[in-house]
Amino acid sequence: MASKLPHTEATAGLPGPVEVTQAARAQLLNLARTAVAVASRAAPAPALDAAMHAASLTDLHASAFVTLTRDGELRGCMGILDADRPVHDAVAEAAACATRTDPRFRPVSPDELPGIEVDVSVLGPMVLLDDPLAWRLGIDGIVVRLGSRRGLLLPEVAEENGLDRVAMLDIASRKAGLPSGAWRSPDAQVYAFRTLRFGGPAIEPGGLPDEP
């Protein structure tokens, strides 16, 4: 039977840490690297098929984001929000999208890969908050939802941009295509979640993946 990520309450009403084994992290990072290499056309397409086949994580389901940076600056970040999907599928698609289809950036080119860092964020379960301000800045990510619209921010956005809770909620509202203060609406829902983030250089010490 397929399983979702384990979830342990750290604080009453708030999400606990995300648990993924070291072996699974290594597989997911390898998969993200391969997807980035293939999407940038630095590696042949069959390399991704081989990496997907090698990933023995079909029983682990979770949403995921992949973030690309270059010289400390954001180069792409995309996510797959489907907690019922196998996490290795989510990571591979998020990595490919961050490489080629993030609307904020031009596609990553093969010559950029030596300077690219790849970070994988595996998302834990989302907890609906009674108080939209009752989450931990820098620890919890947030989702603002109103009707069919939703906007998400990962936990690290707060520290990286010097934001407080209100600013985070305002930005998440705007990401949903809503006014800044939409999270204050009685009909709005605010969720908190934890992530497990890990990563490394886009190119492993052994070089780019080859065609199997």
CATH of the domain at 80: 3.30.700.20
Q: Does 95 share its domain with 141?
A: no
Q: Does 66 share its domain with 141?
A: no
Q: Does 143 share its domain with 177?
A: yes
Number of domains the chain contains: 2
Q: Does 104 share its domain with 152?
A: no
Q: Does 135 share its domain with 79?
A: no
Q: Does 97 share its domain with 153?
A: no
Q: Side chain identity at 191, as an amino acid letter?
A: Y
What pLDDT, on the 0 to 100 scale, is given for residue 60? Answer: 87
Q: Does 81 share its domain with 131?
A: no
116, part of any domain: yes
Q: Which residues pair with residue 66 across a beta bridge?
A: 78, 120
Domain that holds residue 176: 127-193
The distance from CA 198 to its chain's CA centroid, rounded to whole angstroms, is 10
Q: What is the largest CA-CA distance in the chain?
A: 55
To 10 degrees, what angle do helices 46-54 and 87-100 make? Answer: 150
What pLDDT, on the 0 to 100 scale, is given for residue 210? Answer: 62
Distance CA 207, CA 106 (A): 24
Q: Does 70 share its domain with 154?
A: no
212, part of any domain: no
For the chain, 212 residues long, the average pLDDT of each consecutive 10-residue run is 45 82 93 97 94 80 96 96 93 97 97 97 96 96 97 95 97 97 97 97 77 52
Q: Does 109 share its domain with 135?
A: no
Q: Does 52 share its domain with 118?
A: yes
Q: Does 107 share its domain with 145?
A: no
Cβ(16)–Cβ(10) under 8 Å?
yes
pTM of the full predicted structure? 0.88
1, part of any domain: no
Q: Does 81 share its domain with 108?
A: yes
What pLDDT, on the 0 to 100 scale, is given for residue 81? Answer: 94
180: domain CATH number? 3.30.1490.150
